[in-house]
């Protein structure tokens, strides 16, 4: 049972936007950063990752652009918009409130 995946499901938008708040990046590197931060306990499947990116772009929370790497390979970069930053702030606030509620219940 993948308990970390189960607990994080439904929070992919907040996770991805949180990684992109620091700097623009491309899919593979974003997933690697998530693996690193979670000490390899969580990673997105490729399908989930790119479905989430598409949704976030369609919602206006991310924009994209292409850059060529040193090897000549083009990579699609993702950048958080101001609307995405506002959304992330709201999601983080809701996350903290939910944590507090759950902690009160499970730690009674």
For the segment(s) 3-106, the CATH number from 1.10.10.10, 1.10.10.60, 3.30.465.10, 3.50.50.60 is 1.10.10.10
70 vs 91: CA distance, rounded Å: 36
User: Any idea which residue has 């369609």 for tokens?
Assistant: 58
Give the number of other CB atoms < 10 A from CB of residue 62: 24
51 vs 39: CA distance, rounded Å: 24
Token readout for 52 is 């989430």
Token readout for 74 is 């083009």
Residue ranges of the domains in the chain? 3-106
Instruction: Write down the pLDDT at residue 78.
Output: 98
Instruction: Write down the pLDDT at residue 1.
Output: 39
| Helices (H), ranges, 1-108 | 3-8, 12-20, 27-37, 46-58, 82-106
Residues of the chain short of pLDDT 50, as ranges, are 1
**Contacts for 5 with CB less than 8 Å, ≥ 6 apart:** 42
Instruction: Write down the pLDDT at residue 3.
Output: 58
Instruction: Write down the pLDDT at residue 70.
Output: 86
Kindly report whether the global pTM for this prediction surpasses the value 0.85.
yes
Asked whether the beta carbons of 38 and 4 are under 8 A apart, the reply is yes
Instruction: Write down the pLDDT at residue 6.
Output: 66
Q: Is 50 helix (H, G, I), strand (E, B) or coil?
A: helix
Model confidence pLDDT, tens digit, residues 36-51: 998 988 888 899 899 9
Token readout for 85 is 């930053």
């Amino acid at each position: 049972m993948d308990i970390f995946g189960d607990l994080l499901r439904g929070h992919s938008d907040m996770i991805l936007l949180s990684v992109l708040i620091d700097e623009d990046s491309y899919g593979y590197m974003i997933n690697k950063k998530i693996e690193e931060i979670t000490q390899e306990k969580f990673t997105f499947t490729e399908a989930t990752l790119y479905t989430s990116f598409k949704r976030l772009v369609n919602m206006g929370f991310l924009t994209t652009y292409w850059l060529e790497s040193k090897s000549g390979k083009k990579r699609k970069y993702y950048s958080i918009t101001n609307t995405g930053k506002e959304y992330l702030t709201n999601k983080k606030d809701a996350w903290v409130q939910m944590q507090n509620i759950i902690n009160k219940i499970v730690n009674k």
